[in-house]
Amino acid sequence: MRLLISASTFALALGLCARPVRADALVQVTSFGANPGALDMYTHVPPGLPAGSPLVVVMHGCTQTAAAMQVAGWDALADQSKFAVVYPQERTANQPLGCFRWYEPAQTARGGGEAASIIAMVDTMISANHLDPTRVYVTGLSSGAAFTAVMLATYPERFAAGSIMSGIPYACATDLTSATRCEQMNASTQRAASAWGALVAAASGNFTGVWPRVQIWQGSEDTTVSPANAGELVKQWTDVHGAPQTPSATAAISGSTRTQYSAGGQVVVEAYAVSGMGHDVATGMDALGACPAGTGAYFADEHICSTLRAAQFFGLLAGSGSGSDGSSGSGSSGSDGSGSDGSGSNGEQSGGDMNSGCATGDGPGAALVGLVGLVALRRRRSLTS
């Protein structure tokens, strides 16, 4: 029988359930050079942005758009901390659910496909706004998180750091069938750290420079992207950096656990495990300051603000400084400028109701929004072929 999708399920998938954050409309750039991945480009550039400012690339998840990711608050933070933001957007003509195609080798290899389109956007932003090419960062949710790993692996010389939110290791999948296995990340799909790291090394053309630092976020109750993916991402990127698999520091922060992994006296990988969170971006009151995120589908109030903490990891917040080797980041092992646990205390932060962020990521519409929506696409193709 054919796969049918009800109007009510679509309403949930599209997030018609919460008050979205009010933000200025993004500016679309229609001409940005080579675009082999056939993506769209949207931007937010604060008025009077100084030359030499940083750039953050923000990538959406399945069924989302660039505008949907404005809820994360990167635009407001850019206005405050003086950096530019570029939002790549997938076209439904490429992928019916609007997922970035992290599972297609033609889209994820250096020099072609969607990866090359995103680099063209980065180049255009740097040239048009006189930005600092050494301070470019990338973050994303779900399929956008999986593609964040793609960009860090294929163009390591172009990014100083990245934040992967509910993502999947680079080159885990090569088609829709293997994408499903990667989402589930059972023991048979997991690999040794050296095997994961070798995939990144090959993608980069055996890069020998300084690798981008990597931050990882994962909800413990995510039924779209298995929490096991966070562990595999840690294995992949600690191997790339030559860092030990044993954490250099662990801290409890408002119901989340942060583990940090260091090499050369600097935190090169850090992972946040958010207890009780589904397939969402973590928002809420944070000791680092007021969270710029709003409410919307796939944004959950977990009393910790992933946008602020990603920005701190990137070195974009006032006082966040740089790592001990001079690269942007959150400082040396165990220190992020706000206390030994990164929050100023180990207790719960004050904030609103835990469900006030419209945390629908694992509700009735979850299969459409997460990467698991690819399963439905594969089934539909098999039924109509």
Tell me whether residue 328 is one of the annotated catalytic residues. Answer: no
Q: Tokens standing for 65?
A: 């758009």
Phi, psi of 51 (to 5 degrees): -60, 150
In a domain, 362, yes or no: no
Query: What does the pLDDT look like over 300-314, one tens digit per residue?
Result: 999 999 999 999 999
pLDDT attached to residue 6: 29
pTM, two decimal places? 0.83
Domain count, the chain: 1
Give, for 55, the enclosing helix (H) or strand (E).
Answer: strand 55-59
Q: Residue 54: which of 297, 314, 277 has the closest Cα?
A: 314
DSSP three-state, residue 248: coil
Which domain CATH number covers 306? 3.40.50.1820
- Partners of 261 in the beta sheet? 269
The rounded distance, in Å, linking the Cα atoms of 28 and 44 is: 9
pLDDT band at 321 (very low <50, low <70, confident <90, very high): low
Instruction: Provide the sign of the torsion angle of the four alpha carbons 108, 109, 113, 118, taken in this order.
Output: positive
Phi first, then psi: give them for residue 108, nearest 5 degrees. Answer: -115, 10
168 assigned to some structural domain: yes
pLDDT band per the 50, 70, 90 thresholds, residue 296: very high
The string of DSSP codes covering 154-180 is H-GGG-SEEEEES---TTS-SSHHHHH
Does the pLDDT of residue 327 top 90, yes or no? no
Mean pLDDT of the chain: 84
Residue 50 domain-assigned?
yes
* Range of lowest pLDDT (9-13, 46-50, 114-118, 259-263): 9-13
Of 232, 213, 220, 219, the C-alpha closest to 320 is: 213
pLDDT band at 17 (very low <50, low <70, confident <90, very high): very low
| Tokens found for residue 159 | 């990014």
Phi then psi for residue 286, to 5 deg, are -145, 145
**Cβ neighbours of residue 142 closer than 8 Å, sequence gap 6 or more:** 61, 62, 99, 165, 166, 167, 224, 225, 279, 298, 369, 370, 371
Q: Residue 145: inside a domain, yes or no?
A: yes
Give the separation between CA 352 and CA 196, rounded to whole angstroms.
39
> Which helix (H) or strand (E) segment is 139 a member of?
strand 136-141
**CA 105, 107, 113: angle at the middle one, nearest 5?**
140
Annotated catalytic residue, options 81, 117, 142, 163: 142
Rounded CA-CA distance 90/65 in Å is: 8
Angle at 221 between CA 175 and CA 190, to 5 degrees: 40
Give, for 232, the enclosing helix (H) or strand (E).
helix 228-241
Range of the domain at 139: 28-319
pLDDT at position 320: 74
- Whether 258 is covered by a domain: the verdict is yes
Residue 14, pLDDT > 80, answer no
CA distances from 164 to 2, 57, 97, 167 (A): 34, 12, 20, 6
Q: What is the mean pLDDT of residues 222-233?
A: 98
| Number of DSSP helices (H) and strands (E) in the chain, helices first | 11, 12
Helix 143-154 vs helix 193-203: crossing angle, to nearest 10: 70
Q: How are beta strands 266-274 and 281-283 bridged, if at all?
A: unpaired
User: What's CA 256's distance to the chain center, in Å?
Assistant: 18
Kind and range of the H or E element at 283? strand 281-283
Confidence (pLDDT) at 385: 34
In a domain, 343, yes or no: no
Residue 7 scores a pLDDT above 60:
no
Q: Which of 123, 127, 103 is nearest to 113 (CA)?
A: 103
Q: What is the pLDDT of residues 169-207, one digit of tens each?
A: 999 999 999 999 999 999 999 999 999 999 999 999 889
State whether residue 280 is helix, strand or coil: coil
Is the pLDDT at 219 greater than 60? The verdict is yes
Q: Is residue 357 part of a domain?
A: no
Note whether residue 298 is domain-resident: yes
Residue range 332-353: average pLDDT? 35
CA distance 180 to 39: 24
